[in-house]
Protein backbone atom coordinates (compact mmCIF):
# COMPACT_ATOMS: atom_id res chain seq x y z
CA UNK A 1 0.00 0.00 0.00
CA UNK A 2 1.31 3.43 -0.92
CA UNK A 3 2.21 5.36 2.22
CA UNK A 4 -0.04 8.26 1.19
CA UNK A 5 -3.13 6.08 1.43
CA UNK A 6 -4.75 4.70 4.55
CA UNK A 7 -7.14 1.75 4.50
CA UNK A 8 -9.43 1.25 7.46
CA UNK A 9 -12.96 0.63 8.68
CA UNK A 10 -15.73 2.84 10.05
CA UNK A 11 -18.85 1.52 11.77
CA UNK A 12 -21.80 3.68 10.76
CA UNK A 13 -24.56 1.72 12.52
CA UNK A 14 -24.95 -1.59 14.40
CA UNK A 15 -25.29 -3.57 11.14
CA UNK A 16 -22.95 -1.68 8.81
CA UNK A 17 -19.19 -1.29 8.90
CA UNK A 18 -17.62 0.31 5.84
CA UNK A 19 -14.15 -0.25 4.46
CA UNK A 20 -12.69 3.09 3.48
CA UNK A 21 -9.64 4.58 1.79
CA UNK A 22 -8.36 8.01 2.78
CA UNK A 23 -5.60 9.98 1.06
CA UNK A 24 -4.34 12.85 3.20
CA UNK A 25 -2.51 16.06 2.43
CA UNK A 26 -1.10 18.56 4.92
CA UNK A 27 -3.06 21.64 3.78
CA UNK A 28 -6.15 20.41 1.90
CA UNK A 29 -8.09 22.87 -0.24
CA UNK A 30 -11.21 20.77 0.35
CA UNK A 31 -12.44 17.19 0.55
CA UNK A 32 -13.42 14.78 -2.22
CA UNK A 33 -15.62 11.73 -1.60
CA UNK A 34 -15.52 9.14 -4.40
CA UNK A 35 -18.45 6.69 -4.60
CA UNK A 36 -18.13 3.59 -6.76
CA UNK A 37 -20.63 1.74 -8.92
CA UNK A 38 -21.28 -1.92 -9.74
CA UNK A 39 -19.32 -4.21 -9.97
CA UNK A 40 -16.60 -2.15 -8.30
CA UNK A 41 -14.80 -1.53 -5.03
CA UNK A 42 -13.00 1.48 -3.60
CA UNK A 43 -9.84 0.34 -5.43
CA UNK A 44 -11.42 1.76 -8.59
CA UNK A 45 -10.38 5.13 -7.16
CA UNK A 46 -6.84 4.45 -5.92
CA UNK A 47 -4.91 6.19 -8.69
CA UNK A 48 -7.36 9.10 -8.83
CA UNK A 49 -7.18 9.47 -5.04
CA UNK A 50 -3.38 9.67 -5.14
CA UNK A 51 -3.46 12.28 -7.89
CA UNK A 52 -6.10 14.40 -6.15
CA UNK A 53 -4.39 14.12 -2.76
CA UNK A 54 -1.79 16.70 -3.84
CA UNK A 55 -4.50 19.30 -3.12
CA UNK A 56 -7.42 17.60 -1.36
CA UNK A 57 -8.26 15.13 1.35
CA UNK A 58 -9.79 12.22 -0.57
CA UNK A 59 -12.16 9.56 0.78
CA UNK A 60 -13.58 6.45 -0.88
CA UNK A 61 -15.80 3.76 0.62
CA UNK A 62 -17.05 0.32 -0.28
CA UNK A 63 -20.84 0.31 -0.35
CA UNK A 64 -22.58 -2.32 1.79
CA UNK A 65 -22.64 -5.51 -0.26
CA UNK A 66 -19.40 -4.64 -2.05
CA UNK A 67 -15.69 -4.91 -1.35
CA UNK A 68 -15.00 -5.56 2.33
CA UNK A 69 -17.89 -3.57 3.78
CA UNK A 70 -20.68 -5.32 5.68
CA UNK A 71 -23.14 -7.51 3.84
CA UNK A 72 -26.10 -7.95 6.17
CA UNK A 73 -29.08 -10.04 5.04
CA UNK A 74 -31.71 -8.14 3.07
CA UNK A 75 -34.19 -8.31 5.95
CA UNK A 76 -31.80 -6.15 8.00
CA UNK A 77 -30.64 -3.81 5.22
CA UNK A 78 -32.55 -3.38 1.98
CA UNK A 79 -29.63 -2.25 -0.29
CA UNK A 80 -32.05 0.31 -1.75
CA UNK A 81 -30.91 3.71 -3.01
CA UNK A 82 -32.65 5.30 0.00
CA UNK A 83 -30.73 3.07 2.42
CA UNK A 84 -27.48 3.83 0.63
CA UNK A 85 -28.30 7.54 0.98
CA UNK A 86 -28.59 7.07 4.74
CA UNK A 87 -25.25 5.20 4.83
CA UNK A 88 -23.66 8.08 2.91
CA UNK A 89 -25.00 10.66 5.36
CA UNK A 90 -23.83 8.56 8.31
CA UNK A 91 -20.35 8.16 6.83
CA UNK A 92 -19.92 11.90 6.26
CA UNK A 93 -20.82 12.52 9.90
CA UNK A 94 -18.62 9.72 11.28
CA UNK A 95 -15.66 10.87 9.18
CA UNK A 96 -16.11 14.48 10.38
CA UNK A 97 -16.10 15.79 6.81
CA UNK A 98 -16.78 19.50 6.46
CA UNK A 99 -19.61 19.54 3.92
CA UNK A 100 -19.05 23.20 2.99
CA UNK A 101 -15.81 22.20 1.23
CA UNK A 102 -16.89 18.76 -0.02
CA UNK A 103 -17.26 17.55 -3.60
CA UNK A 104 -18.98 14.19 -4.02
CA UNK A 105 -18.23 12.28 -7.23
CA UNK A 106 -20.79 9.49 -7.63
CA UNK A 107 -21.29 7.13 -10.55
CA UNK A 108 -23.68 4.31 -11.44
CA UNK A 109 -25.48 2.93 -8.33
CA UNK A 110 -23.92 5.65 -6.16
CA UNK A 111 -25.42 8.64 -7.95
CA UNK A 112 -29.09 8.32 -6.98
CA UNK A 113 -28.23 7.80 -3.28
CA UNK A 114 -26.07 10.93 -3.34
CA UNK A 115 -28.94 12.95 -4.82
CA UNK A 116 -31.49 11.48 -2.40
CA UNK A 117 -29.20 12.48 0.44
CA UNK A 118 -29.09 15.98 -1.05
CA UNK A 119 -32.89 16.16 -1.04
CA UNK A 120 -32.78 15.41 2.67
CA UNK A 121 -29.87 17.77 3.36
CA UNK A 122 -29.13 20.42 0.70
CA UNK A 123 -25.90 21.29 2.55
CA UNK A 124 -24.50 17.75 2.24
CA UNK A 125 -21.85 18.95 -0.21
CA UNK A 126 -20.54 22.00 -1.99
CA UNK A 127 -21.01 20.17 -5.31
CA UNK A 128 -22.19 16.75 -6.42
CA UNK A 129 -20.84 15.36 -9.70
CA UNK A 130 -22.87 12.44 -11.06
CA UNK A 131 -22.93 10.40 -14.22
CA UNK A 132 -23.90 7.23 -16.04
CA UNK A 133 -26.88 6.36 -13.85
CA UNK A 134 -30.67 6.33 -13.99
CA UNK A 135 -32.31 9.15 -12.02
CA UNK A 136 -35.68 8.45 -13.64
CA UNK A 137 -37.64 5.34 -14.61
CA UNK A 138 -36.99 5.50 -18.37
CA UNK A 139 -36.82 1.99 -19.88
CA UNK A 140 -36.01 3.43 -23.32
CA UNK A 141 -32.66 4.70 -22.00
CA UNK A 142 -31.62 1.50 -20.22
CA UNK A 143 -30.17 -1.79 -21.39
CA UNK A 144 -32.83 -4.52 -21.37
CA UNK A 145 -30.74 -6.64 -19.00
CA UNK A 146 -30.85 -3.87 -16.40
CA UNK A 147 -34.53 -3.20 -16.93
CA UNK A 148 -35.23 -6.90 -16.35
CA UNK A 149 -33.98 -6.56 -12.75
CA UNK A 150 -36.89 -4.29 -11.90
CA UNK A 151 -39.56 -6.99 -11.59
CA UNK A 152 -40.06 -10.71 -11.18
CA UNK A 153 -39.73 -13.31 -12.58
CA UNK A 154 -37.17 -11.72 -14.90
CA UNK A 155 -35.15 -10.30 -11.98
CA UNK A 156 -34.37 -13.71 -10.48
CA UNK A 157 -33.50 -15.11 -13.91
CA UNK A 158 -31.13 -12.17 -14.54
CA UNK A 159 -29.51 -12.65 -11.12
CA UNK A 160 -28.96 -16.33 -11.87
CA UNK A 161 -27.22 -15.34 -15.11
CA UNK A 162 -25.02 -12.89 -13.24
CA UNK A 163 -24.04 -15.52 -10.69
CA UNK A 164 -23.21 -18.11 -13.34
CA UNK A 165 -20.09 -16.09 -14.25
CA UNK A 166 -16.91 -15.67 -12.29
CA UNK A 167 -16.18 -12.25 -10.86
CA UNK A 168 -13.38 -11.77 -13.40
CA UNK A 169 -15.69 -12.65 -16.31
CA UNK A 170 -18.42 -10.39 -14.97
CA UNK A 171 -16.09 -7.43 -14.50
CA UNK A 172 -14.47 -7.90 -17.92
CA UNK A 173 -17.85 -8.00 -19.66
CA UNK A 174 -19.05 -4.94 -17.76
CA UNK A 175 -16.00 -2.81 -18.51
CA UNK A 176 -16.03 -3.67 -22.22
CA UNK A 177 -19.78 -3.30 -22.62
CA UNK A 178 -20.71 -1.29 -25.67
CA UNK A 179 -17.29 0.29 -26.18
CA UNK A 180 -15.82 -0.01 -29.70
CA UNK A 181 -12.62 -2.10 -29.82
CA UNK A 182 -10.41 0.92 -30.44
CA UNK A 183 -11.64 2.58 -27.23
CA UNK A 184 -11.41 -0.43 -24.91
CA UNK A 185 -9.13 -0.12 -21.89
CA UNK A 186 -7.52 -2.17 -19.14
CA UNK A 187 -8.37 -1.49 -15.51
CA UNK A 188 -5.51 -1.84 -13.05
CA UNK A 189 -4.54 -5.33 -11.91
CA UNK A 190 -4.83 -4.20 -8.28
CA UNK A 191 -8.44 -3.10 -8.79
CA UNK A 192 -9.38 -6.30 -10.62
CA UNK A 193 -7.71 -8.42 -7.94
CA UNK A 194 -9.61 -6.59 -5.20
CA UNK A 195 -12.95 -7.14 -6.93
CA UNK A 196 -12.13 -10.83 -7.35
CA UNK A 197 -10.78 -11.43 -3.85
CA UNK A 198 -13.71 -9.70 -2.12
CA UNK A 199 -16.51 -11.04 -4.36
CA UNK A 200 -17.70 -13.75 -1.96
CA UNK A 201 -17.00 -11.85 1.27
CA UNK A 202 -19.75 -12.43 3.82
CA UNK A 203 -21.85 -14.80 1.73
CA UNK A 204 -24.02 -12.24 -0.05
CA UNK A 205 -22.34 -11.30 -3.35
CA UNK A 206 -22.27 -7.96 -5.18
CA UNK A 207 -24.80 -9.29 -7.74
CA UNK A 208 -27.12 -10.11 -4.81
CA UNK A 209 -26.75 -6.54 -3.51
CA UNK A 210 -27.39 -5.21 -7.01
CA UNK A 211 -30.50 -7.39 -7.30
CA UNK A 212 -31.86 -5.99 -4.01
CA UNK A 213 -30.98 -2.42 -5.08
CA UNK A 214 -33.07 -2.87 -8.22
CA UNK A 215 -35.97 -4.36 -6.27
CA UNK A 216 -36.48 -0.86 -4.80
CA UNK A 217 -35.07 1.17 -7.68
CA UNK A 218 -38.32 2.25 -9.39
CA UNK A 219 -39.81 3.35 -6.06
CA UNK A 220 -36.79 5.52 -5.28
CA UNK A 221 -36.53 6.89 -8.83
CA UNK A 222 -40.19 7.92 -8.68
CA UNK A 223 -39.66 9.55 -5.29
CA UNK A 224 -36.69 11.49 -6.62
CA UNK A 225 -38.52 12.66 -9.74
CA UNK A 226 -41.56 13.73 -7.70
CA UNK A 227 -39.30 15.81 -5.42
CA UNK A 228 -36.77 17.05 -7.97
CA UNK A 229 -37.77 20.68 -7.44
CA UNK A 230 -36.39 20.39 -3.89
CA UNK A 231 -32.89 19.61 -5.17
CA UNK A 232 -30.86 22.69 -4.18
CA UNK A 233 -27.30 21.30 -3.99
CA UNK A 234 -25.25 22.29 -7.07
CA UNK A 235 -25.01 19.32 -9.46
CA UNK A 236 -22.80 18.71 -12.50
CA UNK A 237 -23.05 15.78 -14.90
CA UNK A 238 -20.38 13.80 -16.73
CA UNK A 239 -21.45 11.02 -19.14
CA UNK A 240 -19.85 8.55 -21.50
CA UNK A 241 -20.98 9.08 -25.08
CA UNK A 242 -20.80 5.32 -25.75
CA UNK A 243 -22.54 4.19 -22.55
CA UNK A 244 -24.91 1.43 -23.66
CA UNK A 245 -26.05 0.48 -20.14
CA UNK A 246 -27.68 3.88 -19.53
CA UNK A 247 -27.53 6.07 -22.60
CA UNK A 248 -26.52 9.72 -22.70
CA UNK A 249 -30.14 10.72 -23.43
CA UNK A 250 -30.91 9.92 -19.78
CA UNK A 251 -28.23 12.35 -18.68
CA UNK A 252 -29.35 15.00 -21.14
CA UNK A 253 -32.94 14.84 -19.86
CA UNK A 254 -31.80 15.03 -16.24
CA UNK A 255 -29.49 17.97 -16.94
CA UNK A 256 -32.33 19.84 -18.64
CA UNK A 257 -34.72 19.11 -15.77
CA UNK A 258 -32.39 20.59 -13.14
CA UNK A 259 -30.78 23.22 -15.41
CA UNK A 260 -27.31 21.70 -14.89
CA UNK A 261 -24.27 21.41 -17.11
CA UNK A 262 -23.54 18.02 -18.68
CA UNK A 263 -20.23 17.01 -20.24
CA UNK A 264 -20.51 14.20 -22.80
CA UNK A 265 -17.19 12.36 -23.15
CA UNK A 266 -16.50 11.26 -26.76
CA UNK A 267 -15.63 7.59 -27.18
CA UNK A 268 -16.13 6.85 -23.48
CA UNK A 269 -18.40 4.12 -22.12
CA UNK A 270 -20.15 3.57 -18.80
CA UNK A 271 -17.06 3.64 -16.56
CA UNK A 272 -15.72 7.10 -17.36
CA UNK A 273 -13.62 7.30 -14.18
CA UNK A 274 -11.76 4.13 -15.17
CA UNK A 275 -11.51 4.77 -18.90
CA UNK A 276 -10.65 8.49 -18.75
CA UNK A 277 -9.72 9.31 -15.14
CA UNK A 278 -7.95 12.50 -16.20
CA UNK A 279 -11.30 13.94 -17.34
CA UNK A 280 -12.98 12.99 -14.07
CA UNK A 281 -10.11 14.61 -12.14
CA UNK A 282 -10.48 17.74 -14.27
CA UNK A 283 -14.18 18.01 -13.37
CA UNK A 284 -13.47 17.48 -9.67
CA UNK A 285 -10.79 20.17 -9.63
CA UNK A 286 -13.10 22.55 -11.52
CA UNK A 287 -15.78 22.10 -8.84
CA UNK A 288 -13.54 23.88 -6.31
CA UNK A 289 -12.98 26.97 -8.47
The CATH number of residue 79's host domain is: 3.40.50.1820
pLDDT of residue 177: 78
Residues with Cβ within 8 Å of residue 226, at least 6 apart in sequence: none
Residues paired with residue 19 on neighbouring β-strands, in sequence order: 9
pLDDT of residue 87: 98
Residue 1: pLDDT band (50, 70, 90) is: very low
What span, in angstroms and rounded, lies between the C-alpha atoms of 220 and 42? 24
pLDDT surpasses 50 at 120: yes
Domain range for residue 212? Answer: 5-286
Residue 225: pLDDT band (50, 70, 90) is: very high
pLDDT surpasses 50 at 102: yes
pLDDT of residue 178: 72
DSSP 8-state symbol, 259: T
pLDDT of residue 57: 97
State the alpha helices, DSSP H only, in the chain.
Answer: 46-52, 81-94, 111-120, 144-147, 154-163, 167-176, 189-198, 206-215, 217-226, 248-258, 272-275, 277-286
pLDDT of residue 2: 44
pLDDT of residue 202: 83
Q: Helices 217-226 and 206-215, interaxial angle, to 10°?
A: 50
| pTM of the predicted model over 0.95 | yes
Q: Answer yes or no: are the C-beta atoms of 132 and 270 closer than 8 Å.
A: yes
pLDDT, tens only, 143-193: 998 999 999 999 999 999 999 999 999 999 999 877 878 778 999 999 999
Question: How many domains are there within the chain?
Answer: 1
Closest residue by Cα to residue 99 from 255, 258, 233 = 233
Cα 86 to the center of its chain, rounded Å:
15
Amino acid sequence: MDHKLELGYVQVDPDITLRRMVAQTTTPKGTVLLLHGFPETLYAWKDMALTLSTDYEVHAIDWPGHGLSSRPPADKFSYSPKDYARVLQDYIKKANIATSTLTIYATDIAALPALLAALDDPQIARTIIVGDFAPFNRPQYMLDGLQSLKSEPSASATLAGFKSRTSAEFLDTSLKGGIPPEAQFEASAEFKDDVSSTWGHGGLTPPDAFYHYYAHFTRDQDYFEANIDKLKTPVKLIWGEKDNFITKEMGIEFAQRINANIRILPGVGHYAHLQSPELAIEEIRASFR
